[in-house]
Amino acid sequence: MKTLLSAKNLIKVYGEEPNLTYALNDVSIDIKNAEFVAIIGPSGSGKSTLMHILGCLDKPDKGKYYFEDKEITQFTDNELAKIRNTKIGFVFQAFNLLPRTSALKNVELPLIYTDLSKAEAEKRSTAVLNELGLRDKLSSTPAKLSGGQQQRVAIARALVNNPQVIFADEPTGNLDSKASQEIINIFKDLNRRGRTIVMITHEKDIAKNAKRIITIKDGKIVSDKKQTTSR
């Protein structure tokens, strides 16, 4: 499989001298197409910082990052926005849906920043929501949906642009175990159909659903293991 993401010697520092904190301290990582990677680590380990850089939301202080062989670290803010819009989907712990806005409109959100017509955007969003079993919730606002349903709307929003990779930041953090399993199953299903998934979590039980587990601690990768059997 072709390498999708490649980070080389990433360094990200917060704070000022002499109280520097290395959120990332010389991190290198390669992720191939169609992988399902879990990045695990305690809070403050730097896993969120890593996801932000890999997701083109932030830039490292040092090191290089390539997305599909393009050097992202050289990109302007607008070029990064374009990459996020067309190649990347995000799923967040707190769902981050627009309040008082229908599921359909929430899913359409990434498409309003493309050249797609309104009718086409609606068609595609409806299709993705249908696929995720939300056929009868198109006009529901987040307040009327359960946590699991809200996260499924968020996944639909991440998928609607047909991205290369989905970054999920603690996607089950706000869900009960039943809903968590539902969401994980969706990710596994997406991965089985060839979608690259990068999931951040601090729960080992959730992480073991991935095919590869990277453990990060104090800004460094401490282990990187392939799972032989994925359930």
Give yes or no for a contact between 71 and 45, defined as CB atoms under 8 angstroms apart. no
Distance in Å, CB of 101 to other proteins, minimum: 7
Chain mean position to CA 28? 18
Q: Is 210 exposed, middle or buried (0-12, 13-18, 19+ CB in 10 A)?
A: buried
Size of the site for other proteins (CB under 8 A): 28
Q: Does 211 bind other proteins (CB under 8 A)?
A: no
Q: Which x/- pattern over 37-76 shows residues binding other proteins (rule: CB under 8 A)?
A: ---------------x--x-xx------------------
Give yes or no for a contact between 191 and 34, defined as CB atoms under 8 angstroms apart. yes
Distance in Å, CB of 92 to other proteins, minimum: 7
Chain mean position to CA 147? 18
Distance in Å, CB of 167 to other proteins, minimum: 9
Separation in Å, CA 179 to CA 54, 128, 151, 199: 27, 19, 9, 16
Chain mean position to CA 8? 20
Nearer to other proteins, 106 or 209 (CB): 106
Distance in Å, CB of 214 to other proteins, minimum: 20
Out of 43, 78, 228, 229, the only residue in the binding site for other proteins (CB under 8 A) is 78
Out of 9, 25, 73, 96, the only residue in the binding site for other proteins (CB under 8 A) is 96
Residues in region 144-163 near other proteins by CB under 8 A: 157, 161
- Report which secondary-structure segment, H or E, holds 45: none
Beta partners for residue 137, in sequence order: none
Binding site for other proteins (CB under 8 A): 52, 55, 57-58, 77-78, 81-82, 84-86, 90, 92, 96, 98-101, 105, 109-110, 112-115, 118, 157, 161
